[in-house]
């Protein structure tokens, strides 16, 4: 008998807001004490000895640069860098192991077109030229003197979640399917300040950004975005950028596809028209059903994914759980996330965990009483513009089969009776 059969169990009195045990989002807050009655605590007999071995000896001294516990060492990025294109590839953040909204810098996803350059910050320069009155060159020292701003914002590769384009569901985890996504506090200089100093001429409507790695990644960015919220980032989560994320400086364009946030930034050229580089014509353009290519699809769509429980995890049996996930949108803030436990027929509203920030990951949570039967869990995000995360079928029908970027469809996780969680199409 499970506790869900128990008429005396107070958890059974919590308001169910959608089918298959989804509970009111504030149930934990209102009835925190009830959780104990449904959570499998260890009995006193299974308790550890009164004095653990680590309580009997002095601990070790602090480290100059900190490491996490050795017991967490299996939480790593999942790398897909393969010969012969050494250094070209991606590594994915372990979304299923993370909580809150910040991705630790050491676990931030990485995507390189030709590896990580080893840049000496003393030698690195940023050139601003083109349609400007006064071309400028900045070294790190000069750049660091400008006013800095800090913002918590997500970065997502436009190729993230591409597995959901496949006709058959690819086995995988939140990490392997959606891990080209991270969120950091980025600190840097607003680009509008630097461009004002250089004096943009009236014909200057685009900016070509170029990286210093050997892929010489280049993208054309509309001046309106540069003026709106672009920064030259030099810090990530309080310390200097990691080499893999653009050390010593990168362009950061909040809410836009990752490839526009050019790493190892070395040059900004103000132009009248987009430059039409390799990285915006052969790549990062979207083939339409009529055979034409859509260029410059910069903004990332409204999206969410449940990270716990998620693919390749195993549930410990029927009982009370807290569903947890992340939602984000390139359009600004997330206004609502809904969760379904019946494959999208009924939906209940999840709790958004503060802070809810513009162009950042937003954590959502929802209490759930699983009765042990197979179910399909989904989440659906809605943003401040009213945009709703689409189903996979809707998205693929709308786009046609050639599209390959910006898959922001609803993820379906199947929970089987034995507690295994897997990627399915609902
Ligand atoms: N110079 C340069 N910038 C680059 C890239 C690159 O290979 N070279 N990759 C781009 C791509 S495709 C993405 S998704 C993001 C990834 O940023 P991250 O590695 O910090 O996560 O950087 C972008 N900027
Ligand atoms: Mo990317």
Ligand 1 in contact with 250 (CB < 6 A)? no
Which of 89, 94, 217, 221 for a ligand 1 pocket mutation test, highest count of atoms within 8 Å of Cβ? 217
Token pair 């250089």 in the structure block, residue: 198
pLDDT at 127: 98
Residue 238, in any domain of the structure: yes
Does some domain include residue 419?
yes
pLDDT value at residue 48: 64
Number of structural domains (the chain) is 2
Give the pLDDT score at 306.
98
335 & 416 share domain: yes
At which of 288, 319, 352 does a domain end?
288
Same domain, 154 and 265: yes
Whether the CB of 110 sits within 6 Å of ligand 1: yes
Same domain, 259 and 352: no
Testing ligand 1's pocket by substitution, the residue of 89, 109, 113 carrying the most ligand atoms inside 8 A of its CB is 113
The shares of helix, strand and coil residues in the chain, as percent rounded to the nearest 5, are 20, 30, 50
Answer with the one of 263, 288, 313 that is the final residue of a domain.
Answer: 288
The range of the structural domain enclosing residue 230 comes to 110-288
Of the listed ligands, the closest to the CA of 262 is: 1
Residues 125 and 238 in one domain: yes
The C-alpha atoms of residue 251 and residue 20 are separated, in whole angstroms, by 45
Q: Which ligand is nearest to the CA of 209?
A: 1
Q: Is 195 in the pocket of ligand 1 (CB under 6 A)?
A: no
Is ligand 1 within 6 A of the CB of residue 261?
Answer: yes
Q: Which atom of ligand 1 is nearest to the CA of 284?
A: 12
* Interacting residues of 34 by C-beta distance below 8 A, sequence separation 6+: 10, 11, 14, 27
Q: CA–CA separation, 423 vs 305, rounded Å?
A: 12
Residue whose CA is at the smallest distance from ligand 1 atom 18 = 110
pLDDT at 4: 45
Q: What is the pLDDT of residue 279?
A: 78
What pLDDT score was predicted for residue 5?
A: 47
| φ and ψ of 346, to 5 deg | -120, 150
In a domain, 101, yes or no: no
Q: What is the pTM of this model?
A: 0.94
Structural contact between residues 230 and 101, judged by C-beta atoms closer than 8 angstroms: no
Total residue length of the chain = 426
Q: Is residue 61 part of a domain?
A: no
**153 contacts: CB under 8 Å, gap ≥ 6:** 183, 184, 186, 252, 254, 255, 357, 358, 359, 360
Q: Is 160 in the pocket of ligand 1 (CB under 6 A)?
A: no
Q: Counting beta carbons within 10 angstroms of the beta carbon of residue 44, is it exposed (0 to 12), middle (13 to 18) or buried (19 or more)?
A: exposed
Residue 89 falls inside a structural domain: no
* Domain identity same for 379 and 325: yes
CATH number at residue 269: 3.90.420.10
Residue-level pLDDT at 277: 84
So what's the pLDDT on residue 311? 98
The domain that contains 417 carries what CATH number?
2.60.40.650
CB 107 within 8 A of CB 93: yes
Whole-angstrom distance between the N-terminal and C-terminal Cα of the chain?
30
Distances (CA, A) of 153 to 2, 85, 237, 252, 355: 42, 30, 11, 9, 12
Alpha carbons within 13 angstroms on the beta-carbon side of residue 258 total: 23
- According to the model, what pLDDT value does residue 385 have? 98
**Is the shortest distance between the CB of 108 and ligand 1 below 6 Å?**
yes
Q: Is the CB–ligand 1 distance for residue 258 below 6 Å?
A: yes
Shared domain for 236 and 137, answered yes or no, is yes
Last residue of one domain, picked from the residues 265, 288, 311: 288
| Same structural domain, 128 and 238 | yes
Rounded Cα gap, residues 89 and 87, in angstroms: 6
Per the listing, tokens 């999208």 go with 344
| Cα 264 to middle of ligand 2, angstroms | 15
Residue 354's pLDDT is 97
Give the residue, by CA position, lying nearest to ligand 1 atom 1.
Answer: 211
Compute the distance from residue 339 Cα to the ligand 2 centre, in Å: 28
Q: Determine, yes or no, domain membership for 87.
A: no
Asked if residue 100 belongs to a domain, the reply is: no
CA within 13 Å, CB half, 283: 15
Query: Does ligand 1 come within 6 angstroms of the Cβ of 111?
Result: yes
| Separation CA 242–CA 9 (nearest Å) | 50
pLDDT (tens place) for every residue of the chain, 426 residues total: 344 445 556 666 778 999 999 999 988 766 554 555 555 556 666 666 688 899 999 999 999 999 999 999 999 999 987 666 677 889 999 999 999 999 999 999 999 999 999 999 999 999 999 999 999 999 999 999 999 999 999 999 999 999 999 999 999 999 999 999 999 999 999 999 999 999 999 999 999 999 999 988 899 999 999 999 999 999 999 999 999 999 999 999 999 999 999 999 999 999 999 998 877 877 777 777 787 877 888 999 999 999 999 999 999 999 999 999 999 999 999 999 999 999 999 999 999 999 999 999 999 999 999 999 999 999 999 999 999 999 999 999 988 777 778 999 999 999 999 999 999 999
Looking at the fold, whether 159 and 267 belong to one and the same domain comes out as yes
- Are 109 and 93 spatial neighbours (Cβ–Cβ below 8 Å)? yes
Q: How many Cα atoms within 13 Å fall on the side-chain side of residue 131? A: 15
Indicate whether 63 belongs to any domain: no
Handedness of CA 299, 304, 414, 420 (dihedral sign): positive
CB 182 within 8 A of CB 155: yes
The closest-lying atom of ligand 1 relative to the alpha carbon of residue 90 is: 19
């Amino acid at each position: 008998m499970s506790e869900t059969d128990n008429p005396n169990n107070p958890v059974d009195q919590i308001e169910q807001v959608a089918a298959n045990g989804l509970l009111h989002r504030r149930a934990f807050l209102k009835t925190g004490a009830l959780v104990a009655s449904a959570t499998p605590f260890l009995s006193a007999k299974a308790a550890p000895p009164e004095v653990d071995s680590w309580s009997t000896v002095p601990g070790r001294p602090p480290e100059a640069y900190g490491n996490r516990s050795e017991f967490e060492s299996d939480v790593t990025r999942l790398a897909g860098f393969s010969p012969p294109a050494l250094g070209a590839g991606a590594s994915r953040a372990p979304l299923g192991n993370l909580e809150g909204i910040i991705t630790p810098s050491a676990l931030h996803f990485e995507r390189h077109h030709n590896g990580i350059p080893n840049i000496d910050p003393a030698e690195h320069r940023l050139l601003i030229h083109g349609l400007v009155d006064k071309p400028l060159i900045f070294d790190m020292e000069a750049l660091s003197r400008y006013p800095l701003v800090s913002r918590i914002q997500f970065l997502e590769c436009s190729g993230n979640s591409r597995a959901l384009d496949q006709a058959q569901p690819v086995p995988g985890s939140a990490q392997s399917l959606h891990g080209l996504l991270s969120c950091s506090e980025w600190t840097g200089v607003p680009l509008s300040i630097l461009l004002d100093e250089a004096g943009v001429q009236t014909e200057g409507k685009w900016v070509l950004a170029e990286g210093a790695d050997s892929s010489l990644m280049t993208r054309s960015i509309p001046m309106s975005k540069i003026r709106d919220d672009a920064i030259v980032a030099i810090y990530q989560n309080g310390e200097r950028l990691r080499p893999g994320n653009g050390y010593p400086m990168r362009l950061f364009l909040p809410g836009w596809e990752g490839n526009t946030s050019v790493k190892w930034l070395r040059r900004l050229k103000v132009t009248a028209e987009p430059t039409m580089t390799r990285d915006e014509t052969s790549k990062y353009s979207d083939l339409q059903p009529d055979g034409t290519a859509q260029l410059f699809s910069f903004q990332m769509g409204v999206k969410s994914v449940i990270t716990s429980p998620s693919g390749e995890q195993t549930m410990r049996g029927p009982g009370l759980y807290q569903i947890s996930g992340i939602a984000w949108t390139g359009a600004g803030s997330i206004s609502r996330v809904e969760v379904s436990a019946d494959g999208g027929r009924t939906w209940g509203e999840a709790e958004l965990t503060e802070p809810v920030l513009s162009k950042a990951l937003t954590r959502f949570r929802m209490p759930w009483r699983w009765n042990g039967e197979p179910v399909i869990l989904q989440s659906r995000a809605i943003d401040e513009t009213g945009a709703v995360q689409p189903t996979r079928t809707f998205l693929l029908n709308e786009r046609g089969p050639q599209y390959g970027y910006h898959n922001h469809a609803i993820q379906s996780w199947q929970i089987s009776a034995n507690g295994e969680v897997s990627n399915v199409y609902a």
